[in-house]
Amino acid sequence: MISIIREIKLGFTQLFPGGRFRYVLVVLSMLSAVISVSELLVMKFFVNIVVQEGEIERNHFILLGVGLAVFFILTRVSQYYQKIYRVKAFARSFKSLRKLRNRGAKNPEWAMAFEISNILAQATQLVAVLAFTLILEPIFAALNLLVVLVVLAVIGRIFTKQLQVQQELQVERDGKRARPQKRYGTRIKAAELGSLLTGLGIALLLAVLLFMSYNGDISLVNTLIIFFGTRLQNGSLTSASRSLMRYAKAKAGARSPAEDDE
């Protein structure tokens, strides 16, 4: 996990000059976390409404349903603009880099920027879900944190190896570089291995959640919310694994002039 932090920090400082460019990216990542927590809040309100629908007056029930729908739409719209705006943020950052380094950004560097943005967003989203779970059920949250740290440690080892492998695949041998099938295949295999390990960790958490719910240690509402939060966490870790491996390939390509056209 330390290797992930060190590498992403290095890429962040190289691609985004100091000042407002970095602040914008951090704010966009934090917005992603807010959206994630909002989705869990929407789900919690939805479950509460469904569980208590027989006890709520019809007009009040309709009002709650409309409010829930509006809130959900707002989160979707916010996520849309969050993803769209980052393209403008990257363009402004690379324009500043052109002034500093007297050159523009190559395609692989654009890819690196997107993956750094994705990883920061997934990281903040992961922290937000962990914090939300801690509020609902501290015991399960402790186990959740342990599983996440183990998964990230394994993904970090895969990522470190992938950085070396992708760099080696860029080196020409007998006047030829490795075939795209091998370069892409190696990256995808590493990414999906991380996703598979994430799935195993999440399966363990869901089994524990089901056991605690069966014993009555967690309420029905909180069980459902934590279930959706755990599924969201699975998506974050899976996306992070794939983004990290794409970053490794893009970084290797950034050092190769021929990769710019690929």
* Residue 106 pLDDT: 63
Distance CA 77, CA 179 (A): 41
CA-based max dimension of the chain: 77
Distance CA 109, CA 252 (A): 10
* Model pLDDT for residues 154-213, shown as the tens digit of each residue: 999 999 999 888 888 877 655 566 676 777 888 899 999 999 999 999 999 999 999 999
Local structure of 173: helix, strand or coil: strand
DSSP 19: T
What is this structure's pTM? 0.77
Distance CA 152, CA 133 (A): 18
Q: What are the residue ranges spanned by the domains of the chain?
A: 2-261
More confident residue, 40 or 228: 228
Distance CA 151, CA 169 (A): 26
Distance CA 14, CA 156 (A): 21
Distance CA 20, CA 93 (A): 9
* Model pLDDT for residues 68-77, shown as the tens digit of each residue: 778 778 877 8
Distance CA 240, CA 123 (A): 8
Across the chain, mean pLDDT equals 80
Q: Give, in degrees to the nearest 5, the angle at Cα 62 between 60 and 65.
A: 110
Class level of CATH domain 2-261? mainly alpha
